[in-house]
């Protein structure tokens, strides 16, 4: 599954649906690393296997972070 939530992070209902679907892999693209880390707390059955930041908008202080989470 690929998710790209707004800056506020993934909603609780969406987190529940993702957990119930139990995909083998989650690709999580985020424009807010803080909420991304908060959302990771809800995916304890996954481990981060790749993580990379991208400065797609150098004129702003924001970065994009892509994480790959694989089910344990």
Catalytic residues: 31
Question: Could you give the angle at the alpha carbon of 6 between the alpha carbons of 61 and 2, nearest 5°?
Answer: 110
Q: Is the backbone of residue 42 left (phi > 0), alpha (psi -120 to 50) or beta?
A: alpha
């Amino acid at each position: 599954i690929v998710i790209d939530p707004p800056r506020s992070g993934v909603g609780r209902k969406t987190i529940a649906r993702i957990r119930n679907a139990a995909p083998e892999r989650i690709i999580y693209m985020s424009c807010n690393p803080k909420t991304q880390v908060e959302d990771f707390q809800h995916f304890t059955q996954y481990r981060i296997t790749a993580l990379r930041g991208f400065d797609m908008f150098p004129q702003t202080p924001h970065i994009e972070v892509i994480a790959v989470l694989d089910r344990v």
